[in-house]
Amino acid sequence: MDSVKNKLAGMRWLFIKPGKFFDDVVRNGSYWDGFVFMALLAFIVGYGAVIGDPTLSADMVLADGANVSLVIFVGLLVITSIWGLFAALIGMKMRPRIAVALTLKEAIFRCLRVVLFSIAPLALLFFHGPLLLGIALLGVLVLSVIGVSKALSIKLIPALILQALTCGSIVGGAALAVDSFFKDPEIQARRSHSYPANKLVGKPAPDILIQPTGGTPFKLSELKGKNVVIIDFWATWCPPCRFGLPMVSEVASKYKDKGVVFYAIGDGSVNQEKLYLEQRKIDAIPASSNADGFAAFMVQAIPETIVIDKQGIIKSVHIGLSKNEKEELTSEIEAALAAN
């Protein structure tokens, strides 16, 4: 009990003098402090993103806030762990020139404590635009350079070089890996069958019941011969859905006068989802479907976007967001229109 009290007492510096708290953790702190800091930040950003959303009811705020906070916390944990490992390894390579009297284990532990705090502002990137993106990245750079300097007992210039090398190693390596992932035909072939829903491509669409908000329910087959149909399974609490839905809407809207209809099928309250779409000017028909509808399209991960041609054949299935989401959807919709 005394140990917990001491830890909580040490956390007071986070609110009273954040600079002192940061310095204490870098030099003498524990991982417990770092995890609490990240959890607190994830909680504030996660619930801050949904509390001010007038489209969500109180019960949805609780559920969505918890989901978003968990996503942010896990994301920060993964990023900081990788960042700390790279920084420590590169720092050890620089040791002969900067005279760091640390073992590899000590360097890794110190750098991990640094990144628990210096990378934390990236949580802002989940819900905000270019301005806060720049502020968050600047904060990450400044905090991490200062933190690495203190953790490894080196001057700011070598710390800046170390930070640049670390950033370059991770970002460059990730960019190459992602580029290879999207270009390698073997990987693409495996990826295309990684979710059961991908096996629906080329087959007749399941005849699910669709309930538009404020409208009359109908069977999907009733649109056969009339419309190219885009269905997006999504949720208000899902960050990729928040990013992806406007892109799908933008592409679908261009073909609206050619008979393309776009249904956004959520897993929550359709009235609140309708308000969400209206306030964000997302041109989609809010709708719902029962559990059988989600099961029929084998929805295991969201967002899941489906393009169905006028003959009722599934032309494509998108799970998550691809590197060229809008371009791929455009070509698939045009192919679906040309096939009828």
pLDDT in tens, 39-51: 776 777 667 666 6
- Give the residue from 148, 183, 218 where a domain finishes: 183
Sign, CA torsion 43/45/48/50: negative
CA distances from 132 to 70, 139, 241 (A): 21, 10, 20
Residue 167 inside a domain? The answer is: yes
From 120, 150, 183, give the residue that closes a domain.
183
Q: Does one domain contain both 205 and 125?
A: no
In a shared domain, residues 228 and 158: no
Backbone phi and psi for residue 262, each to the nearest 5 degrees, phi listed first = -125, 115
State how many domains the chain has: 2
Q: Are residues 124 and 235 in the same domain?
A: no
Mean predicted lDDT score pLDDT of the chain = 68
The answer to whether residues 174 and 259 belong to one domain is: no
* Residue linked to tokens 């007992």: 153
Are residues 201 and 296 located together in one domain of the fold? yes
Residues 89 and 110: beta-carbon distance below 8 Å: no
- Residue 22: pLDDT over 50: no
Same domain as 26, residue 100: yes
Nearest to 155 by CA among 106, 201, 94: 94
Look at residue 292 in the predicted model and tell me its pLDDT: 74
Q: Are 63 and 179 within one domain?
A: yes
Contact 319, 195 (CB under 8 A): yes
The catalytic site residues sit at: 238, 241
Which residue is listed with tokens 């005394």?
2
303 or 105, higher pLDDT: 303
Instruction: Identify the CA nearest to 165 among candidates 101, 122, 116, 111.
Output: 111
In a domain, 189, yes or no: no
Segments forming the whole domain that contains residue 30: 2-183
The number of beta carbons lying within 10 Å of the beta carbon of residue 273 is 25
The CATH number of whichever domain residue 306 belongs to comes to: 3.40.30.10
Tokens matching residue 201: 């491509």
Q: Are residues 150 and 15 in the same domain?
A: yes
pLDDT in tens, 171-211: 556 556 555 545 554 444 444 445 666 777 888 888 888 88
Counting residues of the chain whose pLDDT is more than 70, the rounded percentage is 45
Residue pair 271/288 in contact by the 8 Å Cβ criterion: no
The amino acid present at 302, given as its one-letter code, is I
Final residue of a structural domain among 134, 149, 183: 183
Half-sphere exposure of 85 (CA within 13 A, CB side): 7
Of the pLDDT bands very low, low, confident and very high (cuts 50, 70, 90), residue 17 is: very low
Q: Using CB atoms within 10 Å of the CB of residue 132, give its burial: 0 to 12 exposed, 13 to 18 middle, 19+ buried.
A: middle
User: CA distances (Å), 154 to each of 21, 84, 99, 195, in order?
Assistant: 20, 16, 8, 48
Write out the H or E segment, with its range, that includes residue 307.
strand 304-308
- Both tokens of 18, joined, read 């954040």
Question: What residues pair up with 231 in beta bridges, in sequence order?
Answer: 263, 306
Interatomic CA distance for residues 305 and 119, integer angstroms: 32
| 32 pLDDT more than 70 | no
Q: Note whether 179 and 206 are same-domain residues.
A: no
What is the value of pTM for the model shown?
A: 0.53
- Please tell me whether residues 166 and 212 are part of one structural domain: no
pLDDT for 244 beyond 80 = yes
